[in-house]
Structure 1
Amino acid sequence: MVAAIADFYAGCSIFVIGFTGFMGRVLVEKLLRSCSDIKAIYVLIRPKNNQDVRQRLEDVFSSKLFDKLRKERPEFRTKVIPVNGNMLEPHLGMSQSDMTRLVTDVSVVFHAAATANFEEHLKSGVLMNLHGVKKLAELCKQMSKLEALVYVSTVFANCDRSQVQEAIYPPALQPQKLMEAAEWMDAEMMEILAPHLIGKRPNTYTYIKAMVEYLLVEEYASLPIAIIRPSIVGASLREPFPGWLDNFDGPTNLLTKVGKGILRSMMGNVNGKADVVPIDLVINLMIASAWYTSVHRPSNTMVYNLTTGNLNKATWGHWERYVRDYFLKNPLDHPLRVPRLRFTTSSVWFRLNHWIDHDLRAYVLDFFRLLMGRQPCSVQYNESQKKTLKSLDYFTLNQWEFSNDNLVMLWNKVNKEDQSVFNFNVKSINWPSYVENYCLGVKRYFLKEELSGLPGARRAMKRLQYSWFLIKITTFIILWCLLAKRVAVARALWQKVIFLALFIYQKLPSFAKSH
C-alpha cells in the first residue's frame, strides 16, 4: 500500500514557527524521521541569552529526542535551516533574503508557537500571538508554492461553551479592533479591560487563541488553512520513546510535584473527563492535516478537535489512582513524602487538606531553616503553587462535550500504512500503560534519574512509608492520651482498646499452633 503522507512531503520545503518549544521540536524530529525525502525544514529562531540561532539549533539537536535520528540518519542536520527572526518584530524580524527564500521555496507552514502562560498580560499576548499570526499569514499569501498552513490552537479556546463543535465561533470584538487597541493602549489599561473582554473564559490565553482562529478564517480564508485543537498535551504515547517529555508545562509539572510528595490535593471532579492527549498524536495529526488540506482541497477551513473524552474516556479519578500506584511502583529519587493525590469538589475540604498537607508544613520547614541560619523559601514556594493550582481549577472541575467528526473523518481517509506511521487515533491509548510511562518519563527524561537506581528508590520508598505510618500512629496515640486524661468516655474506650490488644496478643501463640 502506498505511503501517501510521506510521498506528499517528498521534495517539500517546510517552515516551522515554534521550533524551540516542546511541540516544535517533536514535530521536526518526526518529519525528519518519517518523511526522510523532505527537501528542507526552515525553523524560525530568536537569538537568546547571548546565543545566536545556530547555537540554539545545536542545543535542541543535542537533546535525547534526536537520538534515533543520530543513529539512523546522521546527516539530518543538513536539512534543518535556521532563520533568524522574532514574532514581535515587523516581517517576523527576518532579513529580506530569508523572506525571499521562504516565499519561493516553502509549501507547508506549521505554526506551533504561542505564549502558553495562563497569567500572560493581555497586551503582550495580543502582540505575540495575534499580531504574530497576522504577520505570518501575510507572508503565506506571498508563497507561490503554499499547499497548507497548519495552526495549532487549543480545544479550550471556546471553553466558555459547554458543547464545542469543530467550527469557528465569532467573538464579540473583532480581532482587528483588539490589535489596534494593543498598539496604542498601555498594558495597565488593557489589564483593566481584560475581564470584560474574556468573559466566561478563565484566562487571556484561551481568549486570544479563539481570536486567532477567527482572524484566520475571516481575513485569510483564501489560504489553505487547517486548525488543530488539542486538549491537555502530555508526554508521548510511543514516539520517539514512550513517556517522552522535556518541558515542565502542563501535567508534567503536577506529576513531578506529586511524585516528590510536594503536591497532595487538588480541586477536581474524580468523575470528570481528564482530557489529556499524548504529544506524538498531536504531531501526527498536524502532519496528516497538511496532507489532507493539500490533496483533498476542502472548501472550508478544517478544524480538528483532538480530544479523548468522548472517544476514549479517562477520569481524574483514574489519574488519581494510576499516578499514586505507579509512583509507588517506580518512585522518584529522594521524595519528601509518600506520593498521594486527592481530588475534591469541596473548596472547604480542599482548603483544610491544603492547610494540613502544604501550608502548615511550609511554615514548619521555614522555621527550621531560620534556626539553621538558612533563607526561608517554603512558604513562598507554597504560595506560588497555590496560585498555579487555582489557574487549573477551571479545567479539572468543569466538563465539556467536544465533537470529533472531522477528526474521525480524517482518520478514515488515511490508509493503513499511514495510520501506523502517523497514528493520531486516541482509541489506541491504553490509559494505565500510558500513565505508567508518563511517570517513568518524568523520572527518566525530565529529572534525569537513572532507571538502574529503581531498586534503591523502591527500598527508600518502603522506609518512607513505614516512617510515615509510625509518625501517624505515634501522633494518634499522643493525641488520644491527651484526650483520655480529660474525657471519661475516651479514657474508658482507651482502656478497652488496650485490653483487646493484650487479649489478641495472648491468643496469637495458641492460634498459630492450631493452624
Structure 2
Amino acid sequence: MASFPTIPKLYAGRCVFITGATGFMGKNLLEKILRSCPDVKTIYILIRPKKGKDVGQRLEDLLSSKLFEKLRKEQPSFASKIQPVTGDILHDNLGVSQTDERLVVDNVSIVFHSAATVKFDEEMKLSVEMNVIGTKRVIDFCKKIKNLEAMLHVSTAYSNCNQKRIEERIYDPPLAPHKLIDACEWMDGDVLNTLTPKMIGDRPNSYTYTKAIAESLIYQQCQNMPVVIFRPSIVGASWTEPEPGWVDNYNGPTGLLAAIGNGVLRIMKGDFDGTSDVIPVDLASKMMIAVAWYTIIEKPSELKVFHCTTGQINRFTWGNMERMSYEYFMKNPLNMIARIPNPRFTKSTIWHDINVIFDHMIPAYIMDFYLWMKGRKPIFIKIQDRLRKAVGSLDFFTSNEWEFSNDNMYMLLNKMSSEDRKTFNFDPKCIHWPTYMEQYCLGTKKFVLREELAELPKARKTVQRLQRINLVTNIILIIVIWRLLINRVSIAKSLWNFLIGWAIKIFQKLPKVAKSS
C-alpha cells in the first residue's frame, strides 16, 4: 500500500471528464475534486444550453453557487481549470463539436458519468433515451479516448430493488438492452406509457427499471474497458463538505422535509421502523473519487460494483426522520409555515387515507376559502394534489427495506492511506444522525427555500402563535363533541357537571393563594 500514490497525487496532472456536472451529485463531485485535488490539470464538463441560457451563462450560474464559496476563498482561480464542453447525452456522439471531441479524446484519462433523469415517474421513452441510450452514447464516446484509465458509471442501489438482499454484482436485466432500445425506436410515447406497468413488472418505476438495463448494457459493451459501477442509495444533503446541510433540489428526502417543515405534509405511507438508507452527497462524491483512484492503481480484471449505502453500517429509520424532522423544524422553523409540523409514517392504507381527508384535504379547503375571502388566489388544494403525487412515488421506498452488501466499500477504505482516509472519508459510521438531520433541516431552509437564518426569531414567534391557535381549536372541538355526547349519554352529562364544578372550585381558590403568597 505504501507504493500507491495518494489520491491527490494520482489526480495531479490528469484531465477529468464529467457528465451531469450541473446536477446535484455532479456539482458536488466537481467541487470536491477541485478543492481536494488542487493539482488536477483540467476538468471538462458536458453541459447543454437550457431554458434560454447558453453554456457560458449556465457555467457562470453553476460556479456562482454557494457550493463553491469555500473553494473560491482557497483557490480564487479555480475556474480556469474547468473547460465546458457543449453537448447533450440525448445526441449522437454526445453532440460535441470536433474541436471539443479532440480535446477530450486526447487529454482525458478519468470519466465520471452521472448524467441521467432521476424522476421516478418519468415517461418510459425519455427515461430510456437518457438512462440507457444516453449511457450507450457515453460508452461509445469513451471508446475513442486514447488514454482512458477509469470510467465510473453512477447507477443506484435500487436498480435491483426486486431483490431483498443486493450484492455488489451485475444482475440479469428485466429485458435485454438492445430489445428495449429497438422497441423505443419504433414505438411512440403513448404506446410505451400504456405498456410501462407491464414492462417494469416487480420494479416500482421507470427509473429503477432503466438503471438496471443500463448496468447490463455496460457489462455487455465494456468488457475490455476500465469501467466501474457506483451504486449510491438515497442521496441527501451534505454531512460536512463543503458546508454542512448543503442541498439544492427537492429530490428524495429534501422534498419531504420542505413539506413537513411547511406543515402541509403530515401523513405518509411508510414503515416507522423501516430503514431509511440516506447517504450524504459529500460521502458519495468522496467515494466516487476514491473508486476511480482504485481502478487506476489496481486495474481490476473484471467489472466491479461499489455500494455506497448506510443501512447495514449506521442504521437510520423513517421513524427517526419523523421524530427528528419535527424536533428540528420546531427548533428552527421555516418562514412560510402554514401549520405546525406533525409528520407521521403509517403502514395502514385505511388510516393513511382517513388522515389525508381530515388532516390534509379539509384543512386545505378551509385555508383556500380563507384566502378567497381575503381576495387572494387559493393555493393549498393544488399544493396537496402535487404533494400527493410526489409522496406517492416514494411509497415503495418508505414501505420496504433492503440489505446491501458493502464489502467493496471497506476493501477500498483499507487500500487508502491514513491521509486519504481523512480527506476522503466516506465511512458511514462517521455520521451522527441527530446532528445530520438538524443540519439537513437548516440546509433545506437556507439553500433550497432560500430563507435567511436571521429571520428565525420571527419564524419562532409564528410557530408559537400557531400553537396557541391549534390549542384553542382543539379545545373548541373537544367541547363541541362532548356537548353532542351529553345530549345522548347520561353518564357523560354527570361527568361534564363534575368537571365544570371542579374547575370552578379551582379558580375560586386561585385569588386566596395569590394573597397568601
Normalised to the residue count of structure 2, the TM-score between the two structures is 0.96
Q: Please name the residue that 2:53 is paired with.
A: 51
State, as a whole percentage, how many aligned pairs show the same letter: 49
Instruction: Give me the whole-angstrom Cα distance separating, in 2, the residues matched to 1:27 and 1:275.
Output: 20
Give the Å deviation of 1:499.
2.2
Q: Please name the residue that 2:425 is paired with.
A: 423
Instruction: Give me the whole-angstrom Cα distance separating, in 1, the residues matched to 2:319 and 2:251.
Output: 21
CA contact (8 A) 2:174 2:209 kept: no
Match of 1:170 among 167, 172, 184: 172
Give the Å deviation of 1:513.
9.5
Describe the superposition over 1:24-71 as per-residue Cα deviations: whole angstroms up to 9, x where unpaired: 111111111000000000001111122111111001111111111111
Instruction: Give me the whole-angstrom Cα distance separating, in 2, the residues matched to 1:258 and 1:3.
Output: 46
2:494 partner amino acid: A
Q: Please name the residue that 1:301 is paired with.
A: 303
Give the Å deviation of 1:269.
0.7
Instruction: Give me the whole-angstrom Cα distance separating, in 1, the residues matched to 2:385 and 2:431.
Output: 35
SS of residue in 2 equivalent to 1:150: strand
Normalised to the residue count of structure 1, the TM-score between the two structures is 0.96
Q: Please name the residue that 1:110 is paired with.
A: 112
Q: Please name the residue that 2:224 is paired with.
A: 222
1:73 partner amino acid: Q
Instruction: Give me the whole-angstrom Cα distance separating, in 2, the residues matched to 1:248 and 1:177.
Output: 34
Match of 1:343 among 333, 341, 345: 345
Q: Please name the residue that 1:200 is paired with.
A: 202
Instruction: Give me the whole-angstrom Cα distance separating, in 2, the residues matched to 1:3 and 1:91.
Output: 34
Q: Please name the residue that 1:359 is paired with.
A: 361
Match of 1:267 among 265, 269, 281: 269
Match of 2:244 among 226, 242, 245: 242
Q: Please name the residue that 1:17 is paired with.
A: 19
Give the Å deviation of 1:512.
8.4
Q: Please name the residue that 1:80 is paired with.
A: 82
CA contact (8 A) 1:3 1:417 kept: no
CA contact (8 A) 1:9 1:38 kept: yes
Give the Å deviation of 1:373.
4.6
Deviates more, 1:427-436 or 1:2-11: 2-11
Give the Å deviation of 1:465.
1.3
Q: 1:133 to 1:335 in 2, by over 3 A?
A: same
1:329 partner amino acid: K
Match of 1:213 among 212, 215, 220: 215
Gapped runs of 5+ residues in structure 1?
none
Instruction: Give me the whole-angstrom Cα distance separating, in 1, the residues matched to 2:460 and 2:325.
Output: 15
Give the Å deviation of 1:363.
1.9
Q: Please name the residue that 2:451 is paired with.
A: 449
Instruction: Give me the whole-angstrom Cα distance separating, in 1, the residues matched to 2:147 and 2:108.
Output: 6
Instruction: Give me the whole-angstrom Cα distance separating, in 2, the residues matched to 1:317 and 1:266.
Output: 11
Give the Å deviation of 1:307.
1.0
Gapped runs of 5+ residues in structure 2?
none
CA contact (8 A) 2:267 2:352 kept: yes
CA RMSD of aligned residues (A): 1.8
Describe the superposition over 1:441-478 as per-residue Cα deviations: whole angstroms up to 9, x where unpaired: 11112222222222232232222212211211122112
Instruction: Give me the whole-angstrom Cα distance separating, in 2, the residues matched to 1:432 and 1:112.
Output: 29
Q: Please name the residue that 2:163 is paired with.
A: 161
Instruction: Give me the whole-angstrom Cα distance separating, in 1, the residues matched to 2:30 and 2:128.
Output: 26
CA contact (8 A) 1:3 1:418 kept: no
Instruction: Give me the whole-angstrom Cα distance separating, in 2, the residues matched to 1:170 and 1:230.
Output: 19
Instruction: Give me the whole-angstrom Cα distance separating, in 1, the residues matched to 2:295 and 2:27.
Output: 23
Q: 1:186 to 1:99 in 2, by over 3 A?
A: same
Q: Please name the residue that 1:499 is paired with.
A: 501
Give the Å deviation of 1:508.
5.7
Describe the superposition over 1:403-452 as per-residue Cα deviations: whole angstroms up to 9, x where unpaired: 11111111111111111111110010000000000011111122222222
Match of 2:72 among 67, 70, 76: 70
CA contact (8 A) 2:264 2:384 kept: no
Output aligned runs, 1:400-415, within 5 Å: 400-415=402-417
CA contact (8 A) 2:174 2:213 kept: no
Q: Are 2:138 and 1:136 aligned?
A: yes
Give the Å deviation of 1:262.
1.1
